Structure 1
Amino acid sequence: MSRTYYLFSSGCLRRKDNTLAFETADSRRHLPVEDIDHIYCFGELDLNSKLLDFLGQHGISIHFFDYYGNYTGTFLPREGINSGVLLVRQVEHYLDPEKRIALARNFIEGAMHNIRRNLEKRGENEACQRLDEFREAAKEAGEISDLMSVEAHVRKLYYSKWEEITGWEFGERSKRPPANALNALISFGNSMLYTTVLKEIRRTALSPVISYLHEPSERRYSLALDVSEIFKPVLVDRLIFRLINQGSLNEGHFDQKLNYCYLTEGGRKIFVQEFEQLLENTIVHRKLRRKVKYKSLIRLDLYKLIKHLLGEDLFVPMKVWW
């Protein structure tokens, strides 16, 4: 089974015969290509086009993060699974305003349901009632901009409860740079989820650049942003709450200066390890009546999206029941 490799140290990644060699100032490690699915780089990496060609031949993707843990981009090998029919349907649903907003509304509905579940589990009844009002507003939204406005209000309400939930300072959402530890965790966790969703999209015939809630652009795989909205409350937010409440992360895991805060390498290692473990955890699926991995929930939603696009069934996003 293919694995994901995380390179936290700076070094040089080279092709060595029919395998990979990662060289740092102190060591050399050989990575068999048959065992690699994705590579995450958190340090400065020296590589060349010969290596990228080799990775492309073996279907290996590399995700790059800067010194502070900010996601900067992804190298994807050439297309693996193609479907002309599905591509045409994706474009049709984007170009048709009614079809597009119906899908965009479903992404928002899934996100709001899962956010509400997090608040409900923590006894935030007043916030849940307010969120229900936003859910009704989303049903009436006639434009994508209206939906995005509702989503912004929901997030503001949700984040206003994070200091109470975690006991850590939060204030308001800040991204580049994150102003405090909670913002740093959200940004890093969301980046990890984005690349995870992108992995799953690549395993289907869906195009990652055609989206419905977020506007497609040349610099990002916007369908991954759409799908990530559904899973942020479940795979990122709940993990953050657990790591803080259990004491797995503390102030020592953050590099805090006057105007920014970032996870240290040690903090990133803890989060990555726990995130990978969470994706491998299983839960009994209510409809399938069998155990499925958390990461499989993402692909199940992608298959549901494909059926919707092909006119076989309506897309109903994953709504957390536990």
Structure 2
Amino acid sequence: MQNLLDPAILFFIIGVLAGALRSNLEIPPAISRFLSLYLLMALGLKGGFALSHSGLTAQVGISLSAAIVLAICIPLMGYWILSRFVSGFDAAAIAATYGSVSAVTFVTAVQYLENQGVTYGGHMAAAMALMESPAIIMAVVFANVLRQSKTHSVVALGGGVAALQGPSALPGIRVSKILHESFTDGAQLLLLGAMLVGLVTGEAGKAAMQPFSGDLFKGMLSFFLLDMGLMAARNLPKARGHSPVLMAYAVLGPITHAGLALGLAVWLSLPVGDGALLMVLAASASYIAVPAVLRYALPESSPSLYFGLSLGVTFPLNILFGIPIYVSLAQSFLL
């Protein structure tokens, strides 16, 4: 309940209410894009400054390895479950969306930890960057396999004669192109570049950038969450009318993913802050980077499914209730 009294969360709720009431309140796209880039830059700087203070330790390597394991396992598990209820292309798209991460959810969780006085490793920003691409790559691989199976499927003809279908309308998308787009994405490069700047400049850089990356951060996050509240409310109708199974996945899937992250964090003896952020990353779903790639890479899938579920259902639940729950569980089970 205390989380709902945070100014940033209250602005998110205001955005949801304004969107639900069909208000003409709107954040211009250019400003929304700037706020997104600001938050990533500030987060990268914070992570770099923290890494400069702590150094690259074995604990850092363990946390990053755990992030990569989750980034591979979650989309695989999601595709295996969802392919039983929707088409293979939609299953791959939804699995990729929920296997990737939400930067805004992560930034909000970082702010929540700071408000609670819980320390965390700056390297978790790098973990977020590492977790974004594997799900996209696997979705493209799944889609290419589906296309190839359709291309070479055998059609039974009368009299026991068999013939091959003609080539599918859409050729397989090259994984190399998706890899290039994933790793050269501007937001990713800005995040990692800002981390490098923070790592190199250390305490002197932190003092110089404090008015930018520290003092302004809470206000910028509040403004951006207002915009996200508007978007969430306006995309919720896209999630309505879908199969109850998909709605259940949008709610229970992130909880399951967070549970996997908690089990991994307990097994690896991660610190409370790192474990909490790992849970948040595992429970989040992408609604910016992955949908943008999927529109090109999986045109056979339905954007209203993966975009509506992630932004209309999962994102609000994580922002309002998920983050404090995940942090509380991490505090209960981790040292």
Question: TM-score w.r.t. structure 1 length?
Answer: 0.30
Question: TM-score w.r.t. structure 2 length?
Answer: 0.29
The higher relative CO (CA closer than 8 Å, separation ≥ 6) is in 2
Greater strand fraction, Structure 1 or Structure 2: 1
